[in-house]
Amino acid sequence: MKTHWEEELKRAMSDQSEPFPGHEERFEMRLMQAQKPKGRTITLPRWPWMAAAAAVVVGLIVTLVTSEIHKANHMADDSLKDLHIPEIAAAETYYKKYATVDFNSLNTNDPRIQQFAREMKRLEDEYAKLSQLLAQNYNNERIAQAMVENFQFRLKIMEQLRKYIEIQNQLKNPNNEQQIAS
Amino acid sequence: MQLQPWDEIIAGCRNRSVAAQSTAYRQSWRVVFPAVYGLLRNREEAEDVMQDGYVKAFARIDELREAERFVPWMKSICMRHALDKLRAKQRQNKWFPDFEAHTHSEHAPDETVEWQSEQLTRVKAAMDQLPEGYRVVIRLYLLEDMSHEDVAEMLGITPGTARSQYSRAMKKLKQTVTELT
């Protein structure tokens, strides 16, 4: 049994407070966020795939432009020692071993090949800087991604170079002209 | 606003439908919010705690047996959540202070006359000055119409303690009102 004082107090303290406007919309946002599946943040599994893809493309290039590619460049980049991602280190080693173009063995008077050489040099320099940056910022995904893209660009340039040399060889081969004429 | 039947809404909530959860919120916050706000006395914080309580409650909606009991169930969850928040804030202070009644009956506020606006202002100010624990037991017992047993269960104390703390809280409140007069 409540006293008169208690009843008055109850009446006095009863309030019909409301949240700030827009709270229903804010709640819906909260519900949607709560139902979002927790996405994976680790992206390392991409590295083996990249290494495998790079190996396949590099293998093709090696077969087709054997004369232009040195097979034994074991030059180790100091920055590579600072890297602790085994996948990227393996891909880089493989790339350096089988996919380095010796432009000196090509016709360096050809302006098109000079252009390929400049672009490769620029990407190699950029890669060296990225390696140093990654060593300092080990968890920075954007740097790692830039390194992957750097590989991809270099592979594209090599593919274009291969096609260019193939066309040049066909043009120089007199049999081709005879085949076309017949 | 046309109310949707609770059994339909809760069925949707059990299927993790955001639309159903949103409808449940829209149909019940008017009951839940004042209780949470009454404990926390901060609209922004009360909204945050209440909405957090809803999200957590929806995650365990299967524990709700009767759809029609959704509102009291949700209110209870959100109030517990608010009490946890208060306890975390009050960790450094004593939840229930030692209190010796010094209330003299001749100075006690008049219990028979209708409260005037001045008296109301004084009572509200006195409530604000009460230690958190006292304010909470008054609110739960008086404003939420909970029994001393329910208050005890919610606060994790014995019913006897709930009863005695309520009694002390009321004495303290009357004393403070008198001092403000």
3-state secondary structure B132-154: HHHHHHHHHHHHCCCCHHHHHHH
pLDDT at B2 over 80: no
Question: Cβ(B36)–Cβ(B49) under 8 Å?
Answer: yes
Query: Where does residue A114 rank: exposed (0-12), middle (13-18), buried (19+ CB within 10 A)?
Result: middle
pLDDT of amino acid A64: 54
Please tell me if residue A3 touches chain B, with a CB cutoff of 8 Å: yes
Question: What is the rounded distance in angstroms from the CA atom of residue B62 to the CA atom of residue B139?
Answer: 29
pLDDT of amino acid A159: 76
CA of B102 vs chain A CAs: smallest distance (Å): 18
Report the range out of A68-77, B19-28, B93-102, B139-148 with the highest average pLDDT. Answer: B19-28
Instruction: Supply the ipTM of this predicted assembly.
Output: 0.74
Residues of A in contact with B178 (CB under 8 A): none
Return the percentage of chain B with pLDDT > 90, whole number. Answer: 47
Question: What is the rounded distance in angstroms from the CA atom of residue B133 to the CA atom of residue B137?
Answer: 6
Nearest CA in chain A to B141: A10
**CA B139 centroid distance within chain:** 5
pLDDT of amino acid A171: 74
Please tell me if residue A1 touches chain B, with a CB cutoff of 8 Å: no
Nearest CA in chain A to B170: A6
* pTM for this model (two decimals): 0.51
Each residue's pLDDT expressed in tens, for chain A with a length of 182 residues: 677 778 777 777 776 678 888 899 889 888 887 776 655 444 444 555 666 666 666 666 655 554 444 443 444 444 444 455 666 666 677 666 656 666 666 766 777 777 788 888 888 888 888 888 777 776 777 777 777 778 777 877 877 787 777 777 777 766 655 555 54
Q: If pLDDT is split at 50, 70 and 90, which confidence band does B59 have? A: very high
Q: Could you give the count of Cα atoms lying within 13 Å of B131 in the half-sphere of its Cβ?
A: 20
Query: Where does residue A19 rank: exposed (0-12), middle (13-18), buried (19+ CB within 10 A)?
Result: buried
Beta-bridge mates of residue A69? A101
| 3-class DSSP state of A38 | coil
Subunit contact A35:B43, Cβ cutoff 8 A: no
Helix B70-90 / helix B6-14 crossing angle, nearest 10 deg: 60
Question: Cβ(B81)–Cβ(B73) under 8 Å?
Answer: no
pLDDT of amino acid B57: 95
B18 closest CB neighbour out of A8, A16, A35: A35
Length of chain A: 182
Subunit contact A9:B58, Cβ cutoff 8 A: no
Nearest CA in chain B to A10: B143
Subunit contact B173:A9, Cβ cutoff 8 A: yes
Question: What is the rounded distance in angstroms from the CA atom of residue A153 to the CA atom of residue A11?
Answer: 75
pLDDT in tens, B79-120: 999 999 888 877 655 555 544 444 444 445 555 555 566 777
Identify the residue among B1, B15, B25, B145 best suited for mutation to test binding to A, counting A beta carbons within 10 A and taking the highest. Answer: B25
Output the CA angle A69-A74-A76, nearest 5 degrees. Answer: 125
Label residue A39 left, alpha or beta by phi (over 0 means left) and psi (-120 to 50 means alpha): beta
A19 closest CB neighbour out of B47, B114, B143: B47
pLDDT of amino acid A29: 85
**Which positions ≥6 away from B117 have C-beta within 8 Å?**
none
Please tell me if residue A166 touches chain B, with a CB cutoff of 8 Å: no
Higher pLDDT, B162 or A15: B162
pLDDT of amino acid A22: 86
Alpha-carbon torsion (B96, B85, B149, B134), positive or negative:
positive
Question: What is the rounded distance in angstroms from the CA atom of residue A68 to the CA atom of residue A86?
Answer: 29
| Element of type H or E holding A18 | none
Label residue A40 left, alpha or beta by phi (over 0 means left) and psi (-120 to 50 means alpha): beta
